[in-house]
């Protein structure tokens, strides 16, 4: 049973475990303002806002793709859709601005765009900040429009604050208490543990259940390949998995244990403070709707060779803390990825936290992602590089790549070619040649093997230029900063 609020009204529904929020809206409830464009979380036509209480108890709204959000995760939440925003003839500012700016043509993507603008409007209410191009891109990058070319939508975003603030009062209504979660029936098919102890209990009882956090990948199995899930364990409400704890490892490294259910959006401030390059990558990972729901734990457990964060974490020397029936264990991330989509996770095990080390003194991180489209695309190649300069010599060089092998992987030979050398042309030439030994990439829809080989090698050349540039303070640009830092 799912207890939630829909546009200010309490609702109670039954649903199978694989039901999405979009199916619940359109098929179960007959509320059809929210559209299906792709059922894969890539177009944003189904964007809705989900409100959950923040630390102060006030509801915070974030955007989500309804097509790949598990309906059961609405439990205890407030779902806001385009159908509810206008009160009679009084349009919400997001709607009024879209009309005034001629922001809709065919209108099919419009409900999703309105909801993305709505969440931006809510953010502005709670913490007003300048609408920089970067912010607008984050707010709207997950909504495809095939008609307008986006200019009028940009204008709508910039001008909506000038429209009368018709904001439904029910937006502040508290969400209902979630039903029956404290003590779920033994045969429940969608389990929502709230503590590590409960999670362990669930894992013990149902070692083969599928784990879900944001669902941004798992749900494609059902929308695209029609999978039925026998049982789902939802980790998003496990308190321990939502924590970010400062810690010191046995090897003396300082850093943070980031809970596996921490979303990209929540991780952003920490990364912005410590790892500019990682934060920049995050802006190009999926869309706002995906970042609001996707998690570091999911990206790692999914073990895709083209996941964006694993190469970065590999280059940073990250570790994992796993929970399972036999208690907890730790292992270096290098040992986690075994083969294509195969990991060291045993049956009934889950990732509890990911160790993000604090940048070491003098350490630099560069993350360069190559894709067909700058925004909301999957990598063809991603390179993540860390190093230190010590008296003109490269130290602690770690070069990790995505898209170059069956798993995210470090380029061991190329690392060796650079380690302990001056960053000169001959060392990088050796690294370039070694890289060809490290990887035999394949051709697929995102790029040919030749392109992968050449561009990955050229990223090493960019690395050389960046290091040289830092030494000489040259003003010449060696990359496009919209893509890379």
Partner 1 sequence: MRTLTKLNNSTVADDVSAESATARHELDGRIKGSSPLARDTMHAAPHPHAQAHESAVKHVTGRAAYIDDLKAPADTLHVALGLSPVAHGRLTRLDLDKVRGMPGVVDVVGFHDVPGHTDIGPVFPGDPIFVEEEISYVGQVMFAVAAESHRAAREAVQAAGVEIDEQPACLDPVAAAERGEFVRPTHVQQSGDWEQALANAAHVIEAEQFVGGQEHFYLEGQACLVQPTEDEGVIVHTSNQHPSETQKLVAEVLGIPFHAVTVEVRRMGGGFGGKETQASPWACIAALIARRTGRATRVRLPRADDMRATGKRHPFHNRYRLGVDDQGVIQGGEITVIGDCGYSPDLSDAIVDRAMFHSDNAYSLGEARVTGHRARTHTASNTAFRGFGGPQGMMAIEAAMDDIARRIGEDPLTVRKRNFYRPGRQTTHYGQQVDQIALLRELVEQLETSSEYWTRRRAITEFNAESPIVKRGLALTPVKFGISFTAKHLNQAGALLHVYTDGSVMINHGGTEMGQGLHTKICQVVARELGLDTDEVRITATRTDKVPNTSPTAASSGADLNGQAARDACVKLKERLFDFAHEHLYKDQGLDREDMRLESGHLVAGYGESERRIPWGELVQSAYLNRISLSEKGFYATPLIHYDRNVGQGRPFYYYAFGAAVAEVSVDTLTGEYQVDRVDILHDVGDSLNPAIDLGQVEGGFIQGMGWLTSEELKWNEAGRLISDGPATYKIPTYGDLPPVFNVKLMEGHPNSMASIYRSKAVGEPPFMLGMAVWSALRDALASLADYAEAPRLDTPATPERVLMAAEALRSRYDAAQAQGAV
* Single residue of 13, 29, 86, 430 touching partner 1 by CB under 8 A: 86
The verdict on 38 binding partner 1 (CB under 8 A) reads: yes
How far, in Å, CA of 289 to CA of 300, rounded?
19
Considering only the stretches 68-76, 164-172, 338-346, 460-468, report the one whose residues sit in contact with partner 1 under the rule CB under 8 A. Answer: 460-468
Each residue 376-415 as x (binds partner 1 by CB under 8 A) or -, in order, gives: xxx-x-----------------------------------
Considering only the stretches 295-303, 354-362, 398-406, 452-460, report the one whose residues sit in contact with partner 1 under the rule CB under 8 A. Answer: 452-460
Least separation in angstroms between residue 363's CB and partner 1 is: 24
* Dihedral sign computed on CA atoms, order 392, 393, 397, 399: positive
The verdict on 26 binding partner 1 (CB under 8 A) reads: yes
How far, in Å, CA of 16 to CA of 379, rounded?
33
Report whether 144 contacts 37 (CB < 8 A): yes
The verdict on 305 binding partner 1 (CB under 8 A) reads: no
Comparing CB distances to partner 1, the nearer of 1 and 136 is: 136
Considering only the stretches 162-170, 235-243, 323-331, 365-373, report the one whose residues sit in contact with partner 1 under the rule CB under 8 A. Answer: 365-373
The verdict on 370 binding partner 1 (CB under 8 A) reads: yes
The verdict on 294 binding partner 1 (CB under 8 A) reads: no
The verdict on 375 binding partner 1 (CB under 8 A) reads: yes
The verdict on 9 binding partner 1 (CB under 8 A) reads: no
Degrees (nearest 5) of the Cα angle 172, 178, 182?
145
The verdict on 85 binding partner 1 (CB under 8 A) reads: yes
53 closest CA partner among 23, 78, 16: 78
* Single residue of 339, 454, 470, 471 touching partner 1 by CB under 8 A: 454
The verdict on 39 binding partner 1 (CB under 8 A) reads: yes
* Single residue of 143, 236, 299, 315 touching partner 1 by CB under 8 A: 143
The verdict on 151 binding partner 1 (CB under 8 A) reads: yes
How many chain residues interact with partner 1 (CB under 8 A)? 91
Q: Cα-flanking dihedrals φ and ψ of residue 474, to 5°?
A: -75, 140
The verdict on 82 binding partner 1 (CB under 8 A) reads: yes
Considering only the stretches 168-176, 237-245, 314-322, 473-481, report the one whose residues sit in contact with partner 1 under the rule CB under 8 A. Answer: 473-481
Report whether 69 contacts 215 (CB < 8 A): yes
Report whether 240 contacts 259 (CB < 8 A): yes
Q: If DSSP states are collapsed to H, E and C, what string results for the chain?
A: CEEEEECCEEEEECCCCCCEHHHHHHHHCCCCCCCCCCCCCCCCCCEEEEEEECCCCCEEEEEEEHHHCEHHHHCCCEEECHHHHCECCECCHHHHHHHHCCCCCCCCCHHHHHHHHHHHHHHHHHCCCCCCHHHHHHHHCCCCCCCCCCHHHHHHHHHHHHCCCCCCHHHHCCCCCCCCCCCCCCCCCEECCCCHHHHHHHHHHCCCCEEECCCCCHHHHHHCCCCCCCCEEECCCCHHHHCEEEEECCCCCEEEEEECCCEHHHHHHHHHHHCHHHHHHHHCCCCHHHHCCCEHHHHHHCCCCCCCHHHHHHHCCCEEEEEECCEEEEEEHHHCEEECCEECCCCCCEEEEEEEECCCCCEEEEEEEECCCCCCCCCCEEEEEEEEEECCEEEEEEEEEECCCCCCEECHHHHHHHCCCCCCHHHHHHHHHHHHHHCCCCCECCECHHHHHHHHHHHHHHHHHHHHHHHHCCCCCCCCCCCCC
The verdict on 155 binding partner 1 (CB under 8 A) reads: no
* Single residue of 47, 63, 69, 110 touching partner 1 by CB under 8 A: 110
Binding to partner 1 in span 207-226, by CB under 8 A: 224, 226
The verdict on 146 binding partner 1 (CB under 8 A) reads: yes
The verdict on 446 binding partner 1 (CB under 8 A) reads: yes
Degrees (nearest 5) of the Cα angle 310, 55, 46?
60
Comparing CB distances to partner 1, the nearer of 30 and 57 is: 30
Least separation in angstroms between residue 31's CB and partner 1 is: 9
Considering only the stretches 53-61, 129-137, 231-239, 252-260, report the one whose residues sit in contact with partner 1 under the rule CB under 8 A. Answer: 129-137
Binding to partner 1 in span 411-440, by CB under 8 A: none
Binding to partner 1 in span 172-201, by CB under 8 A: none
* Single residue of 373, 391, 472, 473 touching partner 1 by CB under 8 A: 373
Least separation in angstroms between residue 182's CB and partner 1 is: 32
Each residue 40-59 as x (binds partner 1 by CB under 8 A) or -, in order, gives: x-xx-x--------------
The verdict on 445 binding partner 1 (CB under 8 A) reads: yes
Considering only the stretches 169-177, 232-240, 294-302, 443-451, report the one whose residues sit in contact with partner 1 under the rule CB under 8 A. Answer: 443-451
The verdict on 171 binding partner 1 (CB under 8 A) reads: no
Least separation in angstroms between residue 200's CB and partner 1 is: 34
Comparing CB distances to partner 1, the nearer of 227 and 239 is: 227
* Dihedral sign computed on CA atoms, order 157, 64, 292, 106: negative
Least separation in angstroms between residue 448's CB and partner 1 is: 7
Least separation in angstroms between residue 474's CB and partner 1 is: 11
């Amino acid at each position: 049973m799912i207890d939630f609020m829909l546009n200010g009204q309490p609702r109670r529904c039954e649903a199978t475990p694989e039901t999405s929020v979009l199916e619940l809206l359109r098929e179960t409830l007959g509320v059809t303002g929210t559209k299906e464009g792709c059922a894969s979380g890539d177009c944003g036509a189904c964007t809705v806002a989900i409100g959950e209480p923040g630390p102060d108890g006030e509801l915070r709204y974030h955007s989500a793709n309804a097509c790949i959000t598990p309906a059961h995760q609405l439990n205890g939440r407030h779902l806001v859709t385009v159908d509810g925003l206008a009160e009679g003839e009084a349009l919400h500012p997001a709607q009024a601005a879209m009309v005034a700016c001629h922001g809709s043509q065919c209108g099919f993507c419009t409900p999703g765009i309105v909801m993305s603008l709505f969440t931006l409007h809510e953010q502005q209410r709670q913490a007003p900040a300048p609408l920089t191009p970067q912010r607008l891109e984050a707010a709207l990058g997950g909504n495809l429009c095939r008609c307008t070319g986006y200019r009028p939508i940009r204008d709508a975003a910039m001008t909506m604050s000038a429209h009368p603030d018709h904001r439904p009062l029910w937006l502040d209504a508290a969400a209902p208490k979630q039903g029956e979660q404290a003590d779920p029936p033994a045969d429940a098919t969608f389990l929502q543990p709230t503590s590590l102890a409960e999670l362990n209990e669930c894992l013990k009882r149902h070692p083969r259940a599928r784990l879900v956090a944001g669902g941004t990948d798992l749900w494609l199995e059902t929308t695209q390949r029609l999978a039925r899930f026998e049982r789902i364990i939802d980790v998003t409400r496990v308190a321990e998995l939502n924590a970010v704890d400062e810690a010191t490892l046995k090897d003396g490294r300082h850093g943070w244990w980031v809970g596996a259910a921490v979303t990209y959006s929540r991780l952003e401030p920490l990364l912005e403070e410590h790892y500019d390059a990682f934060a920049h990558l995050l802006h190009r990972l999926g869309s706002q709707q995906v970042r609001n729901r996707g998690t570091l734990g999911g990206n790692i457990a999914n073990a895709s060779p083209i996941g964006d964060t694993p190469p970065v974490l590999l280059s940073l020397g990250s570790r994992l803390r796993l929970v399972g029936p036999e208690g907890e264990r730790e292992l270096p991330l290098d040992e986690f990825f075994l083969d294509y989509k195969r990991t060291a996770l045993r049956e009934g095990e889950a990732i509890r936290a990911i160790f993000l080390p604090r940048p070491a003194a003098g350490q630099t991180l560069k993350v360069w992602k190559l894709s067909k489209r700058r925004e909301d695309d999957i990598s063809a190649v991603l390179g993540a590089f860390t190093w230190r300069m010590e008296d003109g010599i490269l130290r602690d060089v770690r070069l990790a790549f995505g898209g170059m092998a069956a798993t995210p992987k470090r380029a061991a030979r190329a690392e060796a070619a650079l380690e302990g050398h001056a960053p000169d042309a001959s060392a990088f030439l050796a690294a370039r040649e070694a890289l060809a030994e490290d990887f035999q990439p394949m051709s697929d829809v995102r790029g040919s093997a030749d392109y992968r080989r050449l561009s990955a090698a050229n990223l090493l050349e960019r690395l050389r230029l960046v290091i040289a540039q830092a030494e000489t303070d040259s003003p010449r640009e060696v990359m496009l900063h919209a893509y890379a830092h």
